[in-house]
Amino acid sequence: MLSTDEVGAASENMATLPTREDVLDAAARIKGHVAKTPVLKSSRLDELVGANIIIKAECLQETGSFKLRGAFNRLLQLTPATRANGIVAFSSGNHAQGIARAAKALGIQATIVMPQQAPRNKIERVIADGAELRLYDPVSEDREIIARRLADERNAVLVPSYDDPYIIVGQGTCGVEFAEQLDAAGDRLEHLICCTGGGGLMSGLILAMQRPGLAFWTAEPAGHDDWAQSLQQNGRVENAPGTRSICDAILTPSPGVLPWQIASGHLAGGLVVEDDHIRSAMRVAFDMLKLVVEPGGAAALAAALFALPEAAKGTTIGVVVSGGNVDANLFAETLRANHS
């Protein structure tokens, strides 16, 4: 794997892909910096889905999502000289919070580029952790252009949210941990479903957990199902402009370059769910698992509930619930509504 501090966005010509050994190294590196999140089961949920569901609750991670894993793995590898110039990141919220928290812990100045309509709770937590905030208008501005300009002006390191090998293997530590917990309980997965935006978490999980007989499935909201479409067309495609969803955390334009290189050949397929399915999954998570889950974080559970392939019925399925940073008003409205 590439090993320079200056690694930013991955290129189409990256010669060396990260490996499982890189993920194991990352797990050792970030130990003590992140929480070990629980694995949960519910007999009621099993009956509802018609399968044995095992939940990896990354919504209970520090900062409320798996993103802290990649953030710490990336920033821990910066040299003192590089740290002195600070870092720049762009994110709709969860990567922003992970970077802000890791930067604060390591004494690094962080600047975060976030959309103006990002959930207020995510913006407030980034500010609370001492990061400088640059809000932008997604309709008229490009967040990557803004972030690159800021990084160039300050000679700072740009830290993408998924197209970075260090971020990917950091997210993959979730899979290392999940596999250890499964082994300890004597459980063996036949399928694994994970929400997929840029694909950093999914590609990291594949690096960490790949083995014969385990089928990996992406989960995405309708209209932003670029992974499902890309798998069908055997190449990266972009979502149609203007499509929206309540899943703010996973609304990327297309699969990331590096995540696609890693994951595309190992995926069984892409599962697509409607926003109402996701709202129902949020209610199920609260009712049956006592979890507060944000829309993007509930996409994989929604896929298990509403888009599960027939071949997966009656099997053992791992579901990564990836984030819990939901706006309080949206969550209250979701619990009150009846879309089931």
Backbone φ and ψ for 170, nearest 5 degrees, come out as -65, -45
> Smallest Cα–Cα separation from 252: which of 95, 72, 56?
95
Helix (H) or strand (E) holding 215: strand 215-221
Q: DSSP letter at 42?
A: -
Which two three-digit tokens encode residue 339? Answer: 């879309």
Residues 84 and 221 in one domain: no
Handedness of CA 134, 138, 140, 142 (dihedral sign): positive
Burial 111-123 (b: 16+ CB within 10 A, else e): bbbbbeebbebbb
Question: Does one domain contain both 173 and 279?
Answer: yes
**158, 182, 209 - which closes a domain:** 158
The three-class DSSP label of residue 222 is: coil
pLDDT tens per residue across all 340 residues of the chain: 543 343 444 433 334 899 999 999 999 999 999 999 999 999 999 999 999 999 999 999 999 999 999 999 999 999 999 999 999 999 878 999 999 999 999 999 999 999 888 888 889 999 999 999 999 988 888 889 999 999 999 999 999 999 999 999 999 999 999 999 999 999 999 999 999 999 999 999 999 999 999 999 999 999 999 999 999 999 999 998 878 899 988 989 999 999 999 999 999 999 999 999 999 999 999 999 999 999 999 999 999 999 999 999 999 999 999 999 999 999 999 999 864 4
- For residue 14, tell me if it sits in a domain: no
- Co-location of 207 and 309 in the same domain: yes
Instruction: Report how far residue 299's alpha carbon sits from residue 305's, in angstroms, rounded to the nearest whole number.
Output: 10
CA distance 128 to 113: 15
Q: Cβ neighbours of residue 244 under 8 Å, at least 6 residues apart?
A: 223, 251
Which tokens go with 249? 């955390």
Question: At which of 158, 177, 203 does a domain end?
Answer: 158
Asked which of 123, 158, 193 is the last residue of a domain, the reply is 158
